């Protein structure tokens, strides 16, 4: 499970990948900038909705470094930090 850095929900990234070439929302995965996952700063981030992805894309640092700016607290993701 991955954590949506925007709203903190769990996202099943394996399920998103399984779907041959498309995300759960039907966007093609050939372009890493499309769909509910996003490659940023060397790793993939997964989102439960396009809305969350859009928010993340607008200001990734806000969600990746919650201390840097006042924002909704992003839950800590598992794995390396």
Q: Which of 2, 3, 7, 74 binds Zn ion (CB under 5 A)?
A: 7
Q: Does position 48 bind Zn ion by CB under 5 A?
A: yes
Q: Does position 2 bind Zn ion by CB under 5 A?
A: no
The residue (of 48 and 63) whose beta carbon lies closer to Zn ion is 48
Contact 33, 45 (CB under 8 A): no
- Parallel, antiparallel or unpaired: strands 37-40 and 43-46: antiparallel
Which residue is associated with the tokens 């794995």? 79
Q: Does position 74 bind Zn ion by CB under 5 A?
A: no
User: H-helix or E-strand containing 11?
Assistant: strand 10-11
Which residues are at the interface with Zn ion (CB under 5 A)?
Answer: 4, 6-7, 48, 52
């Amino acid at each position: 499970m991955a954590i949506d850095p925007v709203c903190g929900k769990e996202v099943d990234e394996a399920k998103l990948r399984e779907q041959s070439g498309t995300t759960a929302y039907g966007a093609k995965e050939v372009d890493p900038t499309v769909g509910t996952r996003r490659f940023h700063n060397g790793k993939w981030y997964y989102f439960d909705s396009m809305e969350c992805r859009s928010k993340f894309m607008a200001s990734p640092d806000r969600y990746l470094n919650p201390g840097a700016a006042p924002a909704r607290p992003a839950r800590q993701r598992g794995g390396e930090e």
